[in-house]
Amino acid sequence: MGVFLGLAKIVIDNLCGIGIMMHIHHLEEVMQKKRKSAQTSCYCLKIRRATAFVTNHYDKILASCGVTVRQYSVLQNIALSEHCSIRELADMAELDRSTLARNLQPLRSQGLVVDTRQPGTRNCQLELTEAGRQTLAYGKQLWAEAQQEFIKKMGPEGITALENVLETLEAL
Amino acid sequence: MRINKQLAESIVLSSPCHCLNVRRAALSVSKFYDKLLVESGLRYVQYSLLRYIELSGTITITELAERMRINRTTLSRNLQPLQHAGLIKIQPGKDSRFREVRLTDKGKNSVVCANTMWEQAQKLMETYLQEELPGFEKVLLKLELLAV
């Protein structure tokens, strides 16, 4: 009887094991389909993709003020350093100049940022317009909302783990 | 340039933007890979695209953008120099609405040559992260799950 029970237990354990394995496998498949991204072992690709996910989260919430999170931080940097040149702005944002120019261009065409340099002078002096200041103020609320929601989703432990990892990577 | 002190103080006092921090970290990792790939003549982004195209054989631009998680405009900007260098070939696909991309022989050689450099970068990352590696993987998986 004991032997029989022992055997039965092994059979049940294995069945459950297979069940769980199948369940995990199924979940992975579903996730793979949903996220439609390639499996990778590359650390660089992993962190770059993570960036896309996080940026997307902030962008979605900031959408109602009409700018992306990158553009929002450009607006904030211009507000922070009145009359700055493109080079100064690029240094502040740690962006290369062509990336910055790509982010700046829509802000200028939307009339949120103007160049107030005197004719005949070389470096541009960027400034926010009244509309730019309003967008920044509204954006600030939305940013705070995005930040809060992100923290909530990650949980306190997740945030600490994230901060630790990021700090290590930045020092690379 | 004049710094707006009041605003600067309020930014310092608010919590740091996680989005900005993740981007900064990704930038420093990308630069690290760029440096190790330098002799291949490829930047990391280019290498990763070539490698994924190689893996797929032929892939539509739309699908490539989706899989690599970059938008179409950025992808086109990144593919252009590769096409100019003769590493990839872009042509209309079976469904002529979608353009397809594949590697040329030159592109295949380029990937083979860069693979060793990439492996070196991976190894160095593992050495650098050491016991933080499982934490790194876990956090990134969590971020990915946020999007699902």
The DSSP secondary structure of A120-157, one letter per residue, reads T-SS--EEE-HHHHHHHHHHHHHHHHHHHHHHHHHHHH
- The answer to whether the CB atoms of A82 and B24 lie below 8 A apart is no
pLDDT at B109: 96
Record: contact A36-B3, CB cut-off 8 A: no
What phi, psi does B71 have (nearest 5°)? -80, 165
Distance CA B140, CA B121 (A): 19
Residue pLDDT tens, chain B, 148 long: 777 877 777 766 667 899 999 999 999 999 999 999 999 999 999 999 999 999 999 999 999 998 888 888 889 999 999 999 999 999 998 888 889 999 999 999 999 999 999 999 999 999 999 999 999 999 998 888 876 6
Q: Do the Cβ atoms of B26 and A151 come within 8 Å?
A: no
Spell out which residues of chain B touch residue A172, defining contact as CB-CB under 8 Å: 28-29, 32, 128
- Residues of chain A with pLDDT below 50 are 34
A141 CA to chain B: closest CA distance, Å?
A: 12
> Are B19 and A83 a contacting pair at CB < 8 A?
no
pLDDT at A23: 53
pLDDT score for B87: 97
Q: Which two tokens stand for residue A21?
A: 């394995």
User: B1–A88: do the CB atoms touch at under 8 Å?
Assistant: yes
* ipTM surpassing 0.90: no
Question: Is the Cβ of A58 closer than 8 Å to some Cβ of chain B?
Answer: yes
Q: Note whether A92 contacts B: Cβ–Cβ < 8 A.
A: no
- Structure token digits, residue A91: 């240094």
Of B8, B26, B142, the CB nearest to A51: B26
Instruction: State residue A4's pLDDT score.
Output: 58
Q: Give pLDDT, residue A24.
A: 53
B142 and A154 within 8 Å at the Cβ level: the answer is yes
CA–CA separation, B42 and B38 (whole Å): 6
Per DSSP (E only), the strands in B4-141 are 58-60, 88-92, 99-103
Backbone φ, ψ for residue A82 (5° rounding): -55, 145
Q: What percent of chain A has pLDDT over 90?
A: 52
**Whole-model pTM above 0.90?**
no
Tokens of A25: 């496998």
